[in-house]
Amino acid sequence: MRKVVCGVLGALALTAWAFPVHAQATEPALELALMPSTMTVTLLNEGGKYVLVDLKHIPKGGTCRMDKDATIMRVGPGASPETTRVRYAAAQVSAGGCPFLTMFDMANTDYAAGRAAFLKIEDEASKKVEAVKKELGEKAEEVKKELGEKWEEIFGKKK
């Protein structure tokens, strides 16, 4: 679960970073998903990628392991029919895995399953955030009533 939370937080950071790029993109939206299962993927990055955790270089066409629930981002259609090109959108936290921003193709069905899993977690997180916001708002109102005029002295209208 900790990996998923870290992945989702990383994905949110990546989303914030990608919004200026999104304005120029022809795609309708930035799509994030989770890896539906652990699988070996073929690296498509030009020049390969350096794996900091393992201190090694993976050439283009080399393979690496993508762990289940890793955060990925849709790039576009894959090179072959019925595939989607994606990019690893979180930092590597374990040895033997793929490096940050690894690009690879995956089956459309796998991507759809990963997207559905991401949307489910996103919805659950949104509900929790709204519940916390509501609870904090209610507590703020209680404190405001308890403080009465002191509230206005402390948080009154700013000039």
Q: pLDDT tens digit string along 11-69?
A: 555 454 444 444 444 555 789 999 999 999 998 988 878 777 677 888 899 998 999 99
Mean per-residue pLDDT, 130-147:
87
Predicted pLDDT of residue 76: 92
Higher pLDDT, 156 or 44: 44
Place of tokens 């393992």: 54
Higher pLDDT, 100 or 5: 100
**Which residue in 83, 82, 85, 88 sits closest to 65, CA to CA?**
88
User: Coil, strand or helix: which one is 53?
Assistant: coil
Model confidence pLDDT, tens digit, residues 69-119: 999 999 999 999 999 999 998 876 777 788 888 999 999 999 999 999 999
Q: How far apart are CA 151 and CA 28, in angstroms?
A: 46
Mean per-residue pLDDT, 4-12:
51
**Which residue in 38, 20, 53, 32 sits closest to 120, CA to CA?**
32
* pTM, entire model: 0.68
Predicted pLDDT of residue 57: 85
Predicted pLDDT of residue 98: 85
Q: What are the residue ranges spanned by the domains of the chain?
A: 2-126
Highest mean pLDDT among 3-7, 45-49, 50-54, 122-126: 122-126
